[in-house]
Chain A
Amino acid sequence: MADDAMLKLDGVTKSFGDLDVLRGIDLEVDKGEVVCVLGPSGSGKSTLLRCVNLLEPPDDGDILLEGTNICKGEGKDWELDFVRQRVGMVFQQFNLFPHKSAIENVTVAQQTVLDRSKKESTEKAKALLERVGLADKLGEYPDRLSGGQQQRVAIARALAMDPHVMLFDEVTSALDPELVKEVLDVMRELANEGMTMIVVTHEIGFAREAASRVVFMDEGVIIEQGKPKDVLDNPKQERTKEFLGLVLEH
């Protein structure tokens, strides 16, 4: 086992009833790496992310987070705590808390989980919201924010917990085209600052310039992976070629 592996998946499987969604995933992510996961819908990309933070505990296989196996005790409390203190997640549908303002969305977990004082958590939230370009929206409620703004609040909310790894689950797929860039810009900046990130996305452009590695998945397995220019420009596998053909055509 590589000692500097932030995350290591070993033979991870997951099925829902008869549907085998993940059929043996091996993947290593080093500290500071930005891994973009591509693949057709239904290929298991989102489930992979949900397994990593135990929203869906894997059926089989091991996941090592900073060297600690988090799949031993079937969702024991300490495993959940261990994972969720280290892994932040951003969702396709934002999932902001609609009854809380932007800043409260960013402070609530800091106060309940990390026991940060109101003052400390508010300062942290302000700094983060400023960083994602929302300094003027602190008191706004989610239904008064655009999709892009909501998603940026969601990123700030996850960052407030000081995660070591960030998971992005098709975070721009529910956005109007003109709002995609503002979210990707935030993610690009985060990547430049050295955050370890796993990004499930359909944004080939983002993968090309921001990813340190691209992983292509289909039908619950990793088909191929490598440097963006290798996978995206010279794919070796037929299925990767097909998929990229379809995505890049239009």
Chain B
Amino acid sequence: MTSSMLLGITTIAYLVASGLYIALLVFRVKKLGTLATGLTAVTFLVQTAAIILRWMESYRMGYGHPPLSNMYESLVFFSWATVIFYFGLELKFKNRILGAFAIPFAFVSMALASMFHPDAIQPLVPALQSNWLFAHVMTCFVGYAAFAVASGLGVMYLVKLKFQGKEGLLASLPELRVIDDIIHKTIVFGFLWLSAGIITGAIWANSAWGTYWSWDPKETWSLITWFVYAAALHARFTRGWGGKRIAWLAIIGFVAVVFTYYGVNFLLSGLHSYGSG
């Protein structure tokens, strides 16, 4: 069993789990929810095993580094972090329907990883041989995972709002007030991690190149993302923004995240182009 095979299984299993959560949303059969959560939990364990295995494989190949060094590995980690974050929410709010708006992110990022990025374990160029790099990637991606879920919840909010009053399908969604609260808490959580991610990145850059900030496009985009969420937070706690506007900001913020993480590598050039591998 190699890590690649396990990750292949993971991708398919998250697709099925996404389907089950969406079916739960549509048909509201309790059993589907149990099944979806069960499958996601098992898949998560398989994925965890795959990540550990990949780490061990890199040692066997003589490279020896945590599996967080390129686009493929970071997409896998993003998917993993999204699921663990989602489980936290499911436990806290005792609501499985949230899964329909979160687990698809885990699937999509696994699918992107396996379709568009080579899964070979690569040696690290010297600049990447730093513990700060791994702290940086980890903190960023925990934040990104939270923002992904927040945007999913933002969509959930807008959908529910649109069909408000009509019984049926969407009656099983949590109340608007509750969704709004979860979105806010999720953004707050993500913001703390994104801040930590930007900071660890700056420390790493300073230890490798002697500049903690050089306005390279990826750095700049992470700052733009940070500003968007800072604006969302301030609008909420000082001007009382909530509901629709925060839902939209959660979505816009995540678009900025996707661009920072994915778009910048393909559309702009800079220090971080390592990620394009």
Question: A and B from one assembly?
Answer: no
Which positions in B face A, CB cutoff 8 Å? Answer: none
